[in-house]
Amino acid sequence: MNTAQARAATVKRLTRETSLSVVLSLEPGPSDIDSGIGFLDHLLYSLALHGGFSICLHCDGDLALDDHHSVEDCALALGRALSDALGSRDGIARFGWAYAPLDEALARAVVDISGRPYAKVELGLSREKLGELACENVQHFFLSFASAAGLCLHIELLSGQNDHHRAEAAFKAVALALKQAVALKGAGIPSLKGVIEHSGDAV
């Protein structure tokens, strides 16, 4: 559900592994996030704040098993919502890049809303978990998000020792890059093809 004026979308996902809903607006506003995983909520609130978005996300997942399905499905639904909210991509900047520090950690993110999903994510996390979020699933979140949103996404951690700082810096850098990329710069599709297509089949 989206309009060119509202630049907002709602996505619902129901499987044997998760039941979730996402309402995403590309304009600033209040966010209400409950993924069932406290540290993921923290990262998504940061994404919303620094991206200039409003995210309402609620997920009931099979956390008694582990966090993988909930993280993956939150990323897929949020990526699909971003794709839907962008509509035809008419007038968007398309490209965005940003650096974000958090104390000793420094992250760089570059995004192209190309319609061609690709992600290269180098975080260098060494802990097993951050709270109840498996560190391997921080990278998996970005891979799933880029796939569902139709993004070309590059993320690198340039420095840092504290994994909390490294993960949060990565989300902040992605938020700032997305804020640039989704910004409206004028009229027309920013592609020599005249169209930016993404099926969103990942959700």
Confidence (pLDDT) at 4: 43
How is the beta sheet containing 18-25 ordered, strand by strand? 8-14, 18-25, 54-61, 32-34
Average pLDDT in the chain: 92
Under the banding of pLDDT at 50, 70 and 90, the label for residue 202 is very low
Q: Give the model's confidence band at 2: pLDDT under 50 very low, under 70 low, under 90 confident, else very high.
A: very low
Quote the percentage of the chain above a pLDDT of 70.
89
Q: How do the domains of the chain map onto residue ranges?
A: 8-182
Distance CA 1, CA 87 (A): 10
Give the pair of three-digit tokens for residue 86: 């962008």
- In CATH, the architecture of 8-182 is 2-Layer Sandwich (3.30)
Mean pLDDT of 189-194: 52
Whether pLDDT at 3 is above 50: no
Residue whose C-alpha is closest to residue 35's, from 62, 8, 61: 61
Write the pLDDT tens digit of every residue in 138-189. 999 999 999 999 999 999 999 999 999 999 999 999 999 999 999 998 766 6
Q: Are 151 and 75 in contact (CB under 8 A)?
A: no
pLDDT on residue 114:
87
Look at 21-25, 30-34, 88-92 and tell me which has the smallest mean pLDDT: 88-92
Condensed to tens digits (0 to 9), the pLDDT of residues 104-138 reads: 999 999 999 988 999 999 999 999 999 999 999 99
What's the confidence (pLDDT) of residue 203? 46
pTM of the model: 0.92
Give bridge partners of residue 92 from the DSSP assignment: 184
Q: How far apart are CA 80 and CA 123, in angstroms?
A: 24
On the question of pLDDT at 51 being above 60, the answer is: yes
Strand arrangement, sheet containing 105-112 = 95-102, 105-112, 152-159, 118-122
Place of tokens 């209400």: 32
